[in-house]
Structure 1
């Protein structure tokens, strides 16, 4: 009896069960350096699914096609034109291209992979922003859940802005990278080189680099105020090494921006752009209101931040208040600025939310047990599998792995004027067109070679008189048809149903007939063309 029990105990204690043996084989034989935790797997799932989601979204019909046209011109000519090169009505207008590097990258991606290449750049930029926010929140809170809530808040608030493919997304990626670097718990020596290098890249990818300089400025002023208040004397800020570090970093970054084709002129253009009078009529440059979706999302996010600040046990730094108030005020002035406020607001909400939650739960659980992270090879395997599966079913994955061409019409938004442009090329339309500004970018990219676009999304490059005439025509001004005669317009391209009123008015005049019409656009031809 005793012998049997001893043998049973020996079998139990000395020989692992079949289930334990299988798990041991899987984990023990996997290289320790390559093992990841289940939280890493969850992060990979979120990012892979996000990449898949944004890769599957149709490309919006504005902005991107105009930038591709500029990228093609710069690449083929080997230089950036000094004056606006694509819109004849803007002839002689100085052309300071703040996004020339983004345009070249986009054009090369299109050359190599077609529309799948653009979708890849689009999805990769947004996914990288999500990954950076997840990484920093998990490092600061040891919580995957709060990192997930951070990216959800960011996406909900910036959804409208993220739906448009343009170089601003490259600027957003630079901004998020700078922000999470400045929020690192420990300053690392290579930051002295990495951050100025980031500004060199940023200044050539998009003209939003002043937002990054302002971000560093907020950290500088916030740190100085915190030190002055804590020590009781403002002289202490001059002796504080962190304050001096931010000041020097700001100087180095401002100097790094000068590594661009325009030198100091880039600063002038960047600061003058947002106040250009032509932008005042565009919805995305109008003040943020509660009538807008993003206004409602921002209001909700702001309210949650106020509640979190009231309850948080975590110290609220002056820097974060300056950043939130500064970018929030800018968004109220121009709704397009919400794209910079949203990731910051979501980050600080998650940070203080985690602090509140941790304070409430203190003593209820064993923190060492709760925060223990277990690494296993099986999580590495399923993480790699998740990445592979999601990549394989994206347009870029299908193109690279299977050589499958992406259906262009299914890859772009339903408002892209494909049929209208094909009609213009089939009829070999020439001369000055009048077009809805929103269709101008695609006309620049794929329209007839000898047809001149009236306006595109780069409205700041139009002479103010031409822009005023465009608005009078598109908004049914009494002298609209006289202006069309003045510009010698024989062909009009309008987006539908948005411009249905203008379409009906021109048809009633008897001077125009419909040459082509579908559910997204219409082409009007003058009955008696102007020679």
Structure 2
């Protein structure tokens, strides 16, 4: 694939997308936009601008790969990955939680879970850190390259990468199957907001992409929505210019967009769950249990990432108003549609961030172009194998600088305290793993810690819940929340579920801890700075 940042040089038709673009302008600062025929003779040659964008993405890779592993649903996915490898089958009912036994499970991200578990098994936590960094960098690059191509300026690509990273940093640092879905989404978005060419590689590539995506994460639905927006946007643009329904319905580009949408919708069915993947998407997002989860709540200005998103939104609207460029309907549909989804659920900010980054970066560059041109700093415009070699060298250096690179050089894995988040109950898990005479039966763990504790104890301590809350019966989840809050009937609920061991997070379950310490039926077994373990004096 040629790494040139130049836009396609084909002559646009009267109803083409380029009719909505601004007139060609002078080369902007840090630009690289030649349509050089020598690039075809050297398919591996790249422009200097590409190397600049690769460097920016490698910085993000190093930052993400050096971050600590989060303590929440990462470990649940690793537990499911371990179960998949042990049984060699994709479960149809929940396999790890006794209280959810028999509940139908449509495990869409099975392939991602296996990949994560194999990475952990081969390279330890440092391998998971690198996996997080790679996914983040692979998501950033197509967005940065798209902005650079659309604006004909590498500066726009740098703007887009920075905006995307800042808006979505809280999601990029949490490794989960969603990161693999984000990579696929950004590739789809880059095509949709770019040239929308329909070559043979496009048909084969997107069919394969969606077939794989449907086995990595349920976000393939967002990819289908983006392709639907491409078709709807194309129809609106053609009708707006032609004012004729017949011309709109006969548009060949529209037909190809619709056919690609249908083809990808069918490719999604190449998964172990078949048609069940479609209703599963809605059952997860509409599950009553998710309303109690912070990340599924509406995005508000009380959230730090909500404040950042609001600032980006206001800036984007202002830039679009002042920019000499015109908007395509597809851009408006994707930007506004994903924005509304983000307002409904903070988790959806993951899909708005790349679209907002491209729109803001391109229009901001168009506004600043006269000022940027005065700097008169231009990168070499001729593609060269030397820039490709330099890009590969930068990638190699960034990989070597990660914790996994250090581990491979020294042969010693980093300490758990250096790779896991400070909220991870490392000492607690070590204590529970070493105990031989813990009471039998169900255990009560904070949902955020359950996956890690089950992972570290090899599943020997079954938990009441974990963070796959959509698989937990509503009554069980409601009772869990009441116990966690230290409600008046906490002791009756623990008796009802036959729980003999309770682990408490001192920070979030202070009232429950206070009441259990006041009870004569429970005694302390372990305590550290963040947790307390209590057991019944007379086990049930």
- The TM-score normalised by the length of structure 2 is 0.87
Q: Distance in 2 between matches of 1:388 and 1:263?
A: 40
Q: Distance in 2 between matches of 1:243 and 1:34?
A: 32
CA contact (8 A) 1:431 1:450 kept: no
How many residue pairs get matched?
Answer: 497
CA contact (8 A) 2:132 2:173 kept: no
Partner of 2:65: 55
Q: Distance in 2 between matches of 1:347 and 1:108?
A: 34
Q: Distance in 2 between matches of 1:365 and 1:78?
A: 60
Q: CA deviation at 1:163?
A: 2.5
Q: CA deviation at 1:365?
A: 8.8
Where does structure 2 lack aligned partners over 5 or more consecutive residues?
1-40
Kindly report which structure 2 residues correspond to 1:145-224, keeping only aligned pairs within 5 A, or say none: 145-185=155-195, 187=197, 188-224=199-235
Q: CA deviation at 1:448?
A: 5.7
Deviations 1:326-371 (A, max 9, x none): 111111111110100011111111112222233x4599698xx957
The secondary structure found in structure 2 opposite 1:315 is coil
Q: Distance in 2 between matches of 1:470 and 1:46?
A: 44
Gap change, CA 1:331 and 1:92, over 3 Å in 2: same
Is residue 65 from structure 1 mapped to residue 72 from structure 2 by the alignment? no
Q: Distance in 1 between matches of 2:385 and 2:236?
A: 48
Kindly report which structure 2 residues correspond to 1:412-491, keeping only aligned pairs within 5 A, or say none: 412-428=420-436, 429=438, 430-447=440-457, 449-491=459-501
Q: Distance in 2 between matches of 1:469 and 1:92?
A: 19
Is residue 268 from structure 1 mapped to residue 279 from structure 2 by the alignment? yes
CA contact (8 A) 2:193 2:330 kept: no
Q: Distance in 2 between matches of 1:384 and 1:491?
A: 53
Q: Match for 1:122 among 128, 132, 140? A: 132
Partner of 1:307: 318
Partner of 1:511: 521
Q: Distance in 2 between matches of 1:297 and 1:346?
A: 12
Kindly report which structure 2 residues correspond to 1:376-395, keeping only aligned pairs within 5 A, or say none: 383-395=391-403
The secondary structure found in structure 1 opposite 2:168 is helix
The secondary structure found in structure 2 opposite 1:416 is coil
Q: Distance in 1 between matches of 2:100 and 2:207?
A: 35
Where does structure 1 lack aligned partners over 5 or more consecutive residues?
1-30
Partner of 1:4: none
Gap change, CA 1:440 and 1:243, over 3 Å in 2: same
Q: Distance in 1 between matches of 2:46 and 2:254?
A: 37
- The TM-score normalised by the length of structure 1 is 0.89
Structure having the higher helix fraction is 1
The secondary structure found in structure 1 opposite 2:539 is coil
Q: Distance in 2 between matches of 1:66 and 1:50?
A: 26
The secondary structure found in structure 2 opposite 1:190 is helix
Q: Distance in 2 between matches of 1:397 and 1:365?
A: 39
Supply the RMSD in Å over aligned alpha carbons. Answer: 2.2
Larger Rg: 1
Q: Distance in 2 between matches of 1:383 and 1:317?
A: 33
Q: Distance in 1 between matches of 2:455 and 2:353?
A: 32
Q: Distance in 1 between matches of 2:489 and 2:70?
A: 32
Deviations 1:263-291 (A, max 9, x none): 11111111221000111111111111100
Q: Distance in 1 between matches of 2:256 and 2:115?
A: 34
The secondary structure found in structure 2 opposite 1:524 is strand
Q: CA deviation at 1:385?
A: 4.4
Q: Which moved more, 1:157-166 or 1:481-490?
A: 157-166
Deviations 1:201-243 (A, max 9, x none): 1100001111111111111111101111110122221111111
Gap change, CA 1:190 and 1:275, over 3 Å in 2: same
Partner of 1:292: 303
CA contact (8 A) 2:58 2:398 kept: yes
Q: Distance in 1 between matches of 2:459 and 2:326?
A: 61
Q: Distance in 2 between matches of 1:348 and 1:82?
A: 42
CA contact (8 A) 1:421 1:448 kept: no
Q: Which moved more, 1:455-464 or 1:514-523?
A: 514-523
Partner of 2:351: 340
Q: Which moved more, 1:134-143 or 1:163-172?
A: 134-143
Deviations 1:451-485 (A, max 9, x none): 21111110111111101100111112111111011
Q: Which moved more, 1:87-96 or 1:234-243?
A: 234-243
Gap change, CA 1:110 and 1:372, over 3 Å in 2: closer
Deviations 1:90-134 (A, max 9, x none): 011011101100001111111111112211211100011111112
Deviations 1:137-168 (A, max 9, x none): 22222322221111111111112222321111
Is residue 502 from structure 1 mapped to residue 502 from structure 2 by the alignment? no
Q: CA deviation at 1:40?
A: 3.7
Partner of 1:82: 92
Q: Distance in 2 between matches of 1:158 and 1:449?
A: 33
Gap change, CA 1:236 and 1:391, over 3 Å in 2: same
Q: CA deviation at 1:47?
A: 2.1
Q: Match for 1:144 among 124, 131, 154? A: 154
